[in-house]
Amino acid sequence: MTKPVAREPQRRNSRSNRARILATARRELGRNPDVTLEELARASGVVRRTLFGHFPGRAALLEALAEEASETLRGVLEIARRPEEPAERALAHFVRCIWPVGDRYRLLLALARRDLGMERVAEILAPARDEVTSILERGRRDGVFPTPLPPAVLSAALEAMHLALLEQVNTGALEDDGTRTAVVTLIAAGVPAERAGAVVEGVAPEVTAVEPDDVG
């Protein structure tokens, strides 16, 4: 009886092609949000049929990138959580850790709002919003964040501010590694400006090694 041909090399090749297409899409969409799938296939070094075999349309490609962003965010969240730290340090550390994810996927977030809808973007960002809400609740109890806004409301407002700042990065109006964003986040939460700057500077050495690629 003839043994079945091993299909694992084909599967590995398929996974490799898919990963290469997604990496190319992240790069090329950042350069040109209107790049076509045919152009992406050429840039990825695959034939058109291969790309369409993985992603039958633009929406499918963006959804795959959205899921990749969601998985990356969840992975970084595991690194970014500091429940044992004072709330102001925990929030600063969180923002500095998460910023590279937003920077990496900033064009995707803008495209997803247009192509996939705000509900999908909100779903991707929900774990980060929940974590910030938890930090704000803790800081409010400890008197660190003397804001009149409920923590969940302030968390949503901070998320909107971060997305707006990422849009400014898209336009070239802002350059930031997350430091300035972390400072203004603490200020928005009620921390005095001088104190906010000192806290962010204090957590900077802890986040230098945290990048999206570290979590797969």
The CATH number linked to 111 is 1.10.357.10
Residues 110 and 14 placed together within one structural domain of the fold: no
Residues 105 and 204 placed together within one structural domain of the fold: yes
The predicted-structure confidence for 61-115, as pLDDT tens digits, reads as follows 988 988 888 898 888 888 888 889 999 999 999 999 999 888 888 777 777 777 7
Residues 41 and 66 placed together within one structural domain of the fold: no
Residues 189 and 101 placed together within one structural domain of the fold: yes
Residues 31 and 98 placed together within one structural domain of the fold: no
Average pLDDT over residues 1-22: 73
Residues 19 and 121 placed together within one structural domain of the fold: no
Residues 79 and 39 placed together within one structural domain of the fold: no
The predicted-structure confidence for 113-128, as pLDDT tens digits, reads as follows 777 778 888 888 899 9
Number of domains, the chain = 2
Residues 41 and 103 placed together within one structural domain of the fold: no
Residues 119 and 39 placed together within one structural domain of the fold: no
Looking at the chain, list the stretches that DSSP marks H as alpha helix, in order from N- to C-terminal side: 8-31, 37-44, 48-54, 58-80, 87-104, 106-115, 118-141, 151-171, 179-188, 193-207
**Can you give the pTM of this predicted structure?**
0.80
Residues 51 and 68 placed together within one structural domain of the fold: no
Domain extent, residue 91, equals 59-215
Residues 116 and 184 placed together within one structural domain of the fold: yes
Spatial CB neighbours of 90, under 8 Å, sequence gap ≥ 6: 81, 82, 83, 135, 138
